[in-house]
Structure 1
Amino acid sequence: MENVKKLSLEEVADRDAIRDLVDAYAYCADSRDAESQMALFTEDTLFRVFMDERQIEPSQVVNGRVGLAPIFDNLNTYVATMHFNGQSKINLFGDTAIGTTYCFAHHLTIDGDEKKLMVAAIRYHDDFIKINHKWFFKKRDLKVAWIENKPLNS
């Protein structure tokens, strides 16, 4: 066990705060709180969407926090969403960090009697920064591994 790195209390607190940040993103998305979701990002954030994680070039790029509003507002096209965050890996470098988080994002659509569920398997690749003792997303790459569309029974 000589290769086990002991974390300082500050490192443990930082990892916990970053995980809270990642979970707050999902919570805000599902509760349709775009304003609070946007506040999780730096003013000069970079947000990129890759609809296929194998793509080299992103499908969509947003520069700056204010540009996130239409992306988060798009969730209102669904009757409900539910994001489940899974495992994550965080590497700390003082007041910056990088990380990857796995997520299943469920999106429900209802059109008359027809209910459909779209489930996206997502890997988020993030750059984080701590400003005034608070962690923010500096850059977020949303990479879709696959999407499943299926009808739902009533």
Structure 2
Amino acid sequence: MESSDRVALTDLAARYAQAVDRRNPSALAALFTEDARFVLPPALNGTDAPTEIQGNTVVASSVVDAVSHLHSTRHIVQQQVLDSDSATTAHGEAYCSAHHIYPRGDGYRNNRIEIRYQDSFEKVDGTWLFSRRELVVDFAEDVPVILLGK
């Protein structure tokens, strides 16, 4: 895999985090192929089985809707392992600390979830996009926080 492809795929993961945290469905949809699939684990969808969502606009609106009730979110992308399948396809895994800030009583709490994204990528018209993104939950904790900004 060319270093420029690695940079583009790392940037793609960062832009995903930014689009979610800014609640920007159009920016989020632009990061996925038109027929992309997004898989949520039972730990986050409230069922006994994974849920798969298909289509870039459906994925984007679903993800933004899922966090819209929160005060704020902060997705911190950590290490990424990337492997090339061909000149236009790749796969990888990205670690992420996902912070979900919500009001409770007279304060705020952070539902912090440590996740890994199992990703498949496709290069479309020279641009790397997610073709499939599966979220894996490793562990979570819920702690009080103090908001210092805004």
Normalising by structure 2, we get a TM-score of 0.87
- 2: CA distance, partners of 1:39 / 1:58: 28
Q: Which amino acid aligns with 2:111?
A: M
Match of 2:11 in 1: 20
Rg larger in structure? 1
Which digits, 9 at most, give the CA deviation of each residue in 1:48-99, with x for residues without a partner? 011449xxx8432101112211222221111111111111100012110000
| Range 105-114 or range 38-47, more displaced | 105-114
Report the RMSD for the aligned CA atoms in angstroms: 1.9
Match of 1:84 in 2: 76
Instruction: Give the conservation status (yes or no) of the 8 Å contact 1:34–1:73.
Output: no
Match of 1:34 in 2: 25
- State the number of aligned residues: 142
Match of 1:130 in 2: 123
Q: Structure 1, unaligned stretches of length 5 or more?
A: 1-6
TM-superposed deviation, 1:153: 5.0
Q: Which runs of 4+ in 1 moved over 6 A?
A: none
Instruction: Give the conservation status (yes or no) of the 8 Å contact 2:25–2:57.
Output: no
Q: Which amino acid aligns with 1:73?
A: D
Match of 2:109 in 1: 116
Q: Any idea what SS the aligned residue of 1:77 has?
A: coil
Which digits, 9 at most, give the CA deviation of each residue in 1:31-51, with x for residues without a partner? 111210111001111100114
Instruction: Give the conservation status (yes or no) of the 8 Å contact 1:51–1:143.
Output: no
- 1: CA distance, partners of 2:90 / 2:105: 46
Could you tell me which of 136, 139, 145 is aligned with 1:146? 139
